[in-house]
Amino acid sequence: MLMLRNLAIFLALLTGSNAFGQSLVPKFTDAVKLKEAINTESEESQPLYDAQNQKLYFVRTFDKQNTGGKLAGQDIWMASGEKENWKTAVNTFPKLNNENNNAVVGVSADGKRLYLLNQYAGKNNMKFGLSLQKADTLVPEPVSIPGLASESKFYGFFVNAAENVILMSVQMEGGVGEEDLYVSLKDANGNWSAPKNLGTMINSSGFEISPFLDADGKTLYFSSSGKGGLGSADILVSQRLDDSWTKWTIPQNLGRKVNSNGFDAYFSKYDDRAFFCSNKGTELSDIYTIRIMSKEELMALLPPRKEIYFALNAYMINNESKKVLEEVVQTLNDKMDLKIEISGYTCNLGDEARNRKLSENRAKAVNDYLQIMGINSDRIVVNAYGEFDADKAQQDEETQRKFRKVELKYLYMDM
């Protein structure tokens, strides 16, 4: 686990991304710092939520109510509630907390089994490793992971709710940098495999810590000091490409809704709700919650549609339309998470097949113009619909002109 340490601030912005491809980064609301029921003048970190029983487990450091006092190790605390409504957190784990570092690093789907940092070896004695606390046992039992070792006092674990994957942050011989991320898998007989390094797409010369595997079993959230970013450690997301656990998409930064110029880590996600810790604006870290926006919310935030009009039987872009397209280019340059859908139409005068071709030419003219202005083709979707769906009855010139158009609709890149 990451203990207190001085961290250099990295000034370089994260450039690793799936350029113009599907983004793994959710669209977040603004983060909310949990209130005094959970956050105090002490340090709070490592939030894990038991959604089944509405319990938030977390670690508190430098608190006088911790076992052994303020300067002893970290204790497990728990608060009941959900969203931003929490009862005051309590330290009620006398058999789990001691004067060493204690933390919940995994919660079973039913909430009846807790995975714990370190192995318990008698009163106030702990060994490096992982423990399992069952509801019907008095003492946490050790979890055997063959070949697990540590060359550093900094380490951490995460066990998924399905209890078949252990992710660990540990410095081992043959690693890439400081703490690397490794995986151990449970076989059909209930035995855990030796740790496997997740590879250089995930691990760097810095430290990678606080892994969290989403419920899909593929999406990995973690914090890194070695991949650039906004501060001393940023939270990233990547997706596993196969069952080797060494092939991943390029990690993407979760952005300024989550990351800051400080230390950000311990991201955990439950449906549309997530938790993480950050020391932004403070010396010690606090716990924040953030919500993933619904599709309806996202659509409501899109810029309004744009339309440009053409002369009869023409597909040349006039000066008035160029001004509209310049605004579109500016919007796309300002909002790199957006793409544009181009839909070409004609009025209903003339031959239908000819009108279909004309609508294609109009859409292509707009597409070509946007690309000349620097918009990548991967951010452009082109449609040609021919005659606008309108009454075939005789219409005046002004009404017909409204159908000789290209409609421009903004969409998110991952839609």
- For the segment(s) 302-412, the CATH number from 3.40.50.2300, 3.40.50.150, 3.30.1330.60, 3.40.190.10 is 3.30.1330.60
* Numbers of helices and strands, H then E, in the chain: 4, 24
Q: Check whether 20 has a pLDDT greater than 70.
A: no
Tokens of 28: 């977040």
- The DSSP call for residue 69 is -
Question: How many residues can be counted in the chain?
Answer: 415
- In this prediction, residue 157 carries a pLDDT of 97
> CB–CB of 279/287 below 8 Å?
no
User: Are the beta carbons of 185 and 175 closer than 8 angstroms?
Assistant: no
- Percent of the chain whose predicted confidence (pLDDT) is above 90: 73
- Strand ranges inside 171-285, DSSP E: 180-185, 196-197, 208-213, 219-224, 234-239, 252-253, 264-270, 273-278
What pLDDT shows up at residue 122? 78
pLDDT of 355: 87
For the chain, domain boundaries: 32-293, 302-412
Name the strands in the sheet holding 156-159, side by side, starting at the edge strand that comes first in the sequence: 141-143, 126-134, 113-120, 104-107, 156-159, 165-170, 180-185, 196-197
Rounded to 5°, angle at Cα 382 from 414 and 388: 120
Q: What's residue 391's pLDDT?
A: 55
User: Range with the lowest mean pLDDT among 11-15, 59-63, 222-226, 341-345?
Assistant: 11-15
Q: Helix 319-334 to helix 352-372 angle, to the nearest 10 degrees?
A: 60
Q: Are 277 and 11 a contacting pair, CB within 8 Å?
A: no
Query: How far is Cα 37 from Cα 34, in angstroms, rounded to an integer?
Result: 8
Q: Give yes or no for residue 207 having a pLDDT over 80.
A: yes
Residue 228 predicted with pLDDT over 90: no
- Flag the least confident range among 143-147, 272-276, 390-394: 390-394
pLDDT at 227 over 80: yes
Could you please state the CATH topology (level 3) that the domain comprising 32-293 is classified under. Answer: Tachylectin-2; Chain A (2.115.10)
The pLDDT, as a whole number, for residue 389 is 62
